[in-house]
Amino acid sequence: MPDALLLDLDGVLVDSARVHAAAWESLFAEHGIAFGWERYRLEANGRSRGAVIRAVLGHRSDHQALMARKAALVQERLDLSGCPVVEGARALLVEARSRRIPLAIATASRMPHALVQAAGLKTLAPDVVVDRNMVDRGKPWPDVYKLAAKMLGVSPARCLVVEDSPAGLRAGRAAGCITVALTTTHPRADLQTQSDHVIDHLSQLWTVWDALP
What pLDDT does 87 receive?
Answer: 97
Angstrom distance (rounded) from CA 72 to CA 45: 18
Domains and CATH numbers, the chain: 4-15+84-211 (3.40.50.1000), 17-81 (1.10.150)
Cβ neighbour number for residue 184 with a 10 Å cutoff? 19
Q: What is the pTM of this model?
A: 0.86
Write the pLDDT tens digit of every residue in 174-205: 999 999 999 998 899 999 999 999 999 999 99
With contact defined as beta carbons under 8 Å apart, do 174 and 86 qualify?
A: no
Catalytic amino acids?
Answer: 8, 10
What gap in Å lies between CA 166 and CA 162, rounded to an integer? 11
pLDDT digits (tens, 9 = 90+) for 13-26: 999 988 999 999 99
d(CA 17, CA 171): 19
Under DSSP, the state recorded for 132 is: G
Report in angstroms the alpha-carbon separations of 129 from 95, 104, 113, 156, 205: 18, 6, 9, 16, 20
